[in-house]
Amino acid sequence: MQELPHHYIVSANAKTVGNVALSANGVSDLESAPPAEFGGPGDQWSPESLLVAAVADCFILSFRAIARASNLEWDSLNCEVEGILDQVDRVTQFIVFNVKASVGIPSGSDESKALRLLGKAEHACLITNSLKADSYLEASAHVSKVG
């Protein structure tokens, strides 16, 4: 890892109507639009869905690093995140992120260790640590099917 602080620069460009073009050095451009809940088309990534995706992505990447450092054998991780948007004191904001994570482990692996490391990943995720909404984890581990 590089020394902190890290700097992430993203550009957003738009006309008076239409999609917002998002770009950053070294990655493919992405277009976004308002979600259906805010009158958008509902068929594109929105700022809201991108934020919830960032929680899921960060959780998986955090788990991957923690599992590697802890020598946990695993072969799959499914993470589904529900972000709940509401009004608090007349300000619209995410109030909670419900994270459901299920890790597949080989036969003979330590299930309790896998569950413990999922919990560590939740606490290590820099995205949820950077947000004021609460985050709750529902974790499970299962022996992966062979073949």
Does residue 110 lie in a domain region?
yes
This prediction's pTM: 0.93
Does residue 80 lie in a domain region?
yes
Lookup: tokens for 146: 């062979």
The domain of 70 spans 47-143
Which DSSP helix (H) or strand (E) runs through 126?
Answer: helix 126-129
CATH number of the structural domain spanning residue 110? 3.30.300.20
Residues 37-76 as b or e (16 or more Cβ within 10 Å = b): eeeeeeeebbebeebbebbbebbbebbeebbeeeebebee
Does residue 12 lie in a domain region?
no
List pLDDT tens digits, range 35-83. 999 999 999 999 999 999 999 999 999 999 999 999 999 999 999 999 9
What average pLDDT does the structure give for the chain? 96
Does residue 129 lie in a domain region?
yes
Q: CA–CA separation, 89 vs 12, rounded Å?
A: 29
Q: CA–CA separation, 118 vs 137, rounded Å?
A: 8
Does residue 79 lie in a domain region?
yes
Number of H helices, E strands in the chain: 3, 6
* Position 27 pLDDT exceeds 70: yes
Domains of the chain: total: 1
Does residue 31 lie in a domain region?
no
Does residue 63 lie in a domain region?
yes
Does residue 23 lie in a domain region?
no
C-alpha pair distances (Å), 140 with each of 24, 61, 99: 35, 17, 11
pLDDT value for 146:
61
* Position 147 pLDDT exceeds 60: no
